[in-house]
Chain A
Amino acid sequence: MRERRKGPISRAAGIAEGVAATMRRIQRDREPRVLLYDESGYARLLQPEARGRERVLELGDEMVRLLDEAQQAARRARRAG
């Protein structure tokens, strides 16, 4: 069971720990990653040393950038005319 914090300093430290944990989680979620799912929905994380992982990430990034560029070009065209 989690120990109950007593006193304002202890409570402030508890809040800071919570914020730090949330920031770590957000940071982790934003890290590039590749997940492979089998038929039953079981997920497997492709490890950094796995063959093909870098290429998969590169292609994913290229696909996102292709759409970003198209969106920016459309925005520019709208503004121009």
Chain B
Amino acid sequence: MEALTPEQTPARLCELSADARAAVLLDAAGALAGSSEDDPDRARALGEMTRELMEAVDAAGGEPAEQVEVQVPGGAVYASRNPRWTLAVVARRSALSSLMLWDLRAVLGELDGAPPIRRAVAVEPAQDGPATEEAAAGESPVPELGAELEP
């Protein structure tokens, strides 16, 4: 399995979330490291605005925010950061905040080497004999998290 590169990261986020319209990744210095936009001017503009937005958030004081949600009449902007990267996405108005924020964090994790996140998958029924209480006790109560699929 290939690791996610900074250039691929914004596109990966847009692939995961149907409500993501465009995403950009900034490095620790605030420079554009990747964008889902093909148009370089638009990618640069989004990167620049993301950098400014995070600076404005920091200027607001209080505890430094790890994630930001900005709701405006035409849509929403979400951003998530760690010491190395800032990933921001422009989303549709209908986007669910908790899902967007979770996807942002998960994709940043992938970039830092965590295994890729998976959506719910159907679990194949066990092939090795009849179901027993002992076997059931070892199963994850949330099969879509994939506990049974681990080698």
Contacts and interface: CB of A to CB of B under 8 A. Distances in A.
A74 B56 CA distance: 31
Interface string A13-52: 0000000000000000111111111110101101000111
- Interface of B (DSSP majority class): mixed
A46 B62 CA distance: 10
B60 A53 contact: yes
Contacts of B61: 50-51
Contact of B57 (A36, A39, A64): A36
Interface string A55-80: 11101111111111010000000000
Contacts of B75: 64, 67
Contact of B65 (A31, A36, A67): A36
Contacts, number: 108
Nearest to A34: B70
30 contacts: A30-B71, A33-B70, A33-B71, A35-B71, A35-B97, A36-B60, A36-B63, A36-B67, A37-B67, A38-B65, A38-B66, A39-B66, A41-B101, A44-B65, A50-B61, A52-B56, A52-B57, A55-B56, A56-B70, A57-B70, A57-B72, A59-B56, A59-B70, A60-B76, A61-B72, A62-B49, A63-B49, A64-B75, A68-B74, A70-B42
Interface of B: 21-22, 39, 42, 45-46, 49-50, 52-53, 56-63, 65-77, 90, 97, 101
Given A33-B71, A57-B72, 18 more contacts: A32-B70, A33-B69, A33-B70, A36-B60, A36-B63, A37-B66, A38-B66, A41-B101, A44-B62, A52-B56, A59-B52, A62-B49, A63-B49, A63-B53, A64-B74, A64-B90, A67-B42, A70-B42
